[in-house]
Amino acid sequence: MTQQTTPQQTTPQQTIDRATRGAAGMLEGAVRGEVLVPGSTGYEEARHSWHRTVDPHPAVVVDAADSADIQQAVRVARDHGLPFAVQGTGHGTLDPADGGLLVRTSLLRHVEVDPLRRTARVGPGTLWSDVIVAGAPYQLAPVSGMTPSVGVVGYTLGGGAGWLSRAYGFAADGLQSADVVTADGLALTVDRDEHPDLYWALRGGGPGFAAVTAMELDLHRVGRVYAGMRFFPATTAPAALARYREWAPAEPNELNTGLTLMGMPDAQQVPEPLRGRRVLALRVFSLADAEETESTLAPLLDGLGAPLLDGIGTMRYPDTAQITGPAPPPAAVAQHFELFEGLPDGLVDLLLQESGEGAASPLSALEVRHWGGAMAASPADAGPAGHRQVPYSVLAATMLDGPLGRETELAYMDHLADRVRPYAHGGTFLNFLTDSTRTETAFTPENYRRLRAVKRDWDPEEFFALGHTVPPAVQSVPADWADANTQKRAS
């Protein structure tokens, strides 16, 4: 039911117009979940996403209680001409659903594990932590994000590159089927046999093709792993980055690594050896045992000296959550991501200038990651996720609520983007891309053309238009019509 309004919470820009009142009224009697409008108790909390770089003001929020609520919300939004968005955790929210209908799926948080088939069926509000816990009794693990508090559906639709991706590919590669609501309000199940074009697009093409109400995903047999982070003084970064580009091409698929330059705060919760220092962190995740992994890492680590802090050890897969620490609270984070064919001297020097020892930049972290492995494979039925053959990425991040202020932080990120662009491949990865005007760069030209054709067939009016979406392809003109009009012009 629609909540009683609290007048003092209502602001002029949130005034409900006639179309919105009609939509809210229709939903109130048609869905099991709560319907919230500006001024309703709970609206202020419900309208926000995790990603606080946007301040959305949707006209209506539906806290969906089941998949039928999502279907009904799609139909009502379409009938009333309202912008439409779905939000689980909101980690991937880029564009505000201002004046639109926002569906929250956080109540639809459930997992069913089939240990024989090694699959998990998940609801649209499910977090990776839920899947990890459900699979643990069977020693089964998903291709989950490195931060377990991220939602499964949004991560998978964006491709999904996590701990197990060098061994098993993108999360999207393991999507077996999806229940969806189309732009026409139809509830369908899509897989390799049923509606294969839409199924293909969902495997890394983003959220712009349908509203997902359930997914079935592959799980993988994973016992104990050797994982964690090892911290060195930032003065070791020049040698470490130079070695990394030589060492990484031979990195075995069971090993996943990255190097991150970080400025550690001078705070009590930071371990004393790292407190107030700029450090280099080696991130390690390995399916091999400690001895084999350390042997593989030895050429990379040679000459770096003793670490400031060693957090790498043998653990169960569920315990890898401790590597990235507690779930971060909602935050305004600016980041820039690029892919690279290699790590030439000029790029390495630039990265050290911006985030190495003595750097005065506001960056909170700058990560160099090696991709490859199973992510570089191109199975015949692979979805559109990623530029599979590009081996390196750089991700820079800064907190927009820092002491320098939002405008200064954003100006710095623009400066950094301009500096790295000459070295970059030009492609990106959807999960890490925060600029929805650059969506095309997340796909190869061939996959982008194919995605536009799927959009034309399933959502030609661009009902799903917020966030990372592609424009529909232009409808082709029948050959006989073209021939007739060519003759007419000639005469």
With a threshold of 0.85, does the pTM exceed it? Answer: yes
Predicted confidence (pLDDT) at residue 485 exceeds the cutoff of 50 = no
Query: Average of pLDDT values for 178-206?
Result: 98
Predicted confidence (pLDDT) at residue 34 exceeds the cutoff of 90 = yes
Neighbours of 369 (CB within 10 A): 21
Residue 16 and residue 19: Cα distance in Å, rounded?
Answer: 8
Higher pLDDT, residue 203 or 488: 203
Amino acid at 47: R
Lowest pLDDT segment from 49-63, 167-181, 197-211: 49-63
Counting residues of the chain whose pLDDT is more than 90, the rounded percentage is: 82
pLDDT for res 477 = 44
**Structure confidence by residue, pLDDT tens digits, 248-299:** 999 999 999 999 999 999 999 999 999 999 999 999 999 999 999 999 999 9
Evaluate the CA torsion angle 171, 172, 175, 180 in order and state its sign: positive
Average pLDDT, the chain: 92
pLDDT for res 327 = 80
pLDDT for res 325 = 80
pLDDT for res 482 = 41
Query: Average of pLDDT values for 459-481?
Result: 83
Strand partners, 122: 111, 215
Query: Average of pLDDT values for 96-100?
Result: 93
In this structure, whether the domain defined by 7-104 belongs to CATH 3.30.43.10 is answered with: yes
Predicted confidence (pLDDT) at residue 236 exceeds the cutoff of 60 = yes
pLDDT for res 2 = 40
Higher pLDDT, residue 484 or 346: 346
Radius of gyration of the chain measured on its C-alpha atoms: 24
Q: Which of 24, 17, 14 is nearest to 77 (CA)?
A: 24
pLDDT for res 475 = 76
107-114, long-range: CB < 8 A, 24+ apart: 107/33, 107/63, 107/64, 107/65, 108/64, 108/65, 108/66, 108/67, 108/213, 113/138, 113/140, 113/219
Where in the chain do CATH 3.40.462.20 domains reside?
Answer: 225-427
Query: Average of pLDDT values for 153-178?
Result: 97
Strand partners, 178: 190, 215
- Domain 111-221 classification at class level: alpha beta
pLDDT for res 344 = 98
Residue pair 30/80 in contact (Cβ under 8 Å)? The answer is: no
Residue pair 214/152 in contact (Cβ under 8 Å)? The answer is: no
pLDDT for res 16 = 56
Query: Average of pLDDT values for 438-466?
Result: 97
What's the pLDDT band for 31 if we cut at 50, 70, 90?
very high
**Structure confidence by residue, pLDDT tens digits, 285-328:** 999 999 999 999 999 999 999 999 999 999 999 999 999 888 88
Counting residues of the chain whose pLDDT is more than 70, the rounded percentage is: 93
* CATH code assigned to 225-427: 3.40.462.20
Query: Average of pLDDT values for 452-475?
Result: 96
pLDDT for res 9 = 46
Locus of tokens 């019509």: 481
Predicted confidence (pLDDT) at residue 422 exceeds the cutoff of 60 = yes
pLDDT for res 4 = 40
pLDDT for res 476 = 60
**Structure confidence by residue, pLDDT tens digits, 8-22:** 444 434 445 776 788
Predicted confidence (pLDDT) at residue 229 exceeds the cutoff of 60 = yes
Which residues does 23 contact at the CB level (< 8 Å), separation at least 6? 59, 60, 76, 77, 79, 80, 82, 101
Predicted confidence (pLDDT) at residue 133 exceeds the cutoff of 80 = yes
pLDDT for res 151 = 96
Predicted confidence (pLDDT) at residue 355 exceeds the cutoff of 80 = yes
Where in the chain do CATH 3.30.43.10 domains reside?
Answer: 7-104
pLDDT for res 329 = 86
Predicted confidence (pLDDT) at residue 53 exceeds the cutoff of 70 = yes
